[in-house]
Amino acid sequence: MTARLLIVGPQGSGKGTQGVRIAEALGIPAVSTGDIFRANIKGGTELGEKVKAITAAGNLVPDELTGEVVRDRLEQADAAQGFLLDGYPRNAGQAADLDAYLAGKGQALDAVILLEVPREESIARITQRAAEQGRSDDTEEVVAKRLAIYESETAPIVGTYAERGILDRIDGVGSLDEITSRIRAALAARGIAAV
């Protein structure tokens, strides 16, 4: 069985945590652009230096660069039977780029998981994460800017996926296990079940 999934939601919605849990349950890689970028920053690579300057200002990495990184990752052998994307696509341009890439391979997304979390909850979670993980890119000012970008650019692509009938809206408030169970139930209803 293959599963090509996307998980979306505002910053602090738990996408990263839930994405890894779902991907592991399905035996597919979780592909997080944020994780890829942070690994490059930590490694001091050329890409990392570019990304560091962009994210420190609270901006998102440009579409062209992000798309290149994602396409390269999806070409790796472990993604042949599917993947779970986290953090990409973030806007209509990236969504069109992903559609074109997948169509070129005779593929399409199977489901899009939308974690719905109130703005106050997102901010509280991010503030806690910043304290626990020492993430310098999680200042209140940067978070507010990112949430505004999500609301103006990412939220609109959700409508596109809803029109295609592949969107599952998941209540993102509750315990980790409760939220994972909600996601797994929604995917199972589409015939996408854990291995």
Q: Going residue by residue through the chain (195 aa), what tens digit of pLDDT does each one get?
A: 689 999 999 888 999 899 999 999 999 999 998 888 888 889 998 888 888 888 888 787 899 889 988 998 999 999 999 999 998 998 999 999 999 999 999 999 999 999 999 988 888 888 887 778 877 667 777 778 888 888 898 888 999 999 999 999 999 999 999 999 999 999 999 999 876
Is 129 marked active-site?
Answer: yes
**Distance linking the first and last C-alpha atoms of the chain:** 9
The CATH number given to whatever domain includes residue 164 is: 3.40.50.300
The active-site residue, picked from 50, 129, 145, 169, is: 129
* Strand residue runs (E) in 80-134: 82-86, 111-116
Is 50 marked active-site?
Answer: no
Backbone phi and psi for residue 168, each to the nearest 5 degrees, phi listed first: -120, 115
The active-site residue, picked from 4, 52, 73, 90, is: 90
Is 145 marked active-site?
Answer: no
Q: The domain containing residue 77 runs over which residues?
A: 3-189
Is residue 22 included in any domain, yes or no?
A: yes
Number of domains in the chain: 1
Is residue 194 included in any domain, yes or no?
A: no
The active-site residue, picked from 42, 71, 119, 135, is: 135
Is 169 marked active-site?
Answer: no
Is residue 195 included in any domain, yes or no?
A: no
Is residue 114 included in any domain, yes or no?
A: yes
Which residue, among 189, 144, 143, 138, has the nearest Cα to 168 in the 3D structure? 189
Is 73 marked active-site?
Answer: no
CA distances from 141 to 144, 146, 153 (A): 5, 9, 18
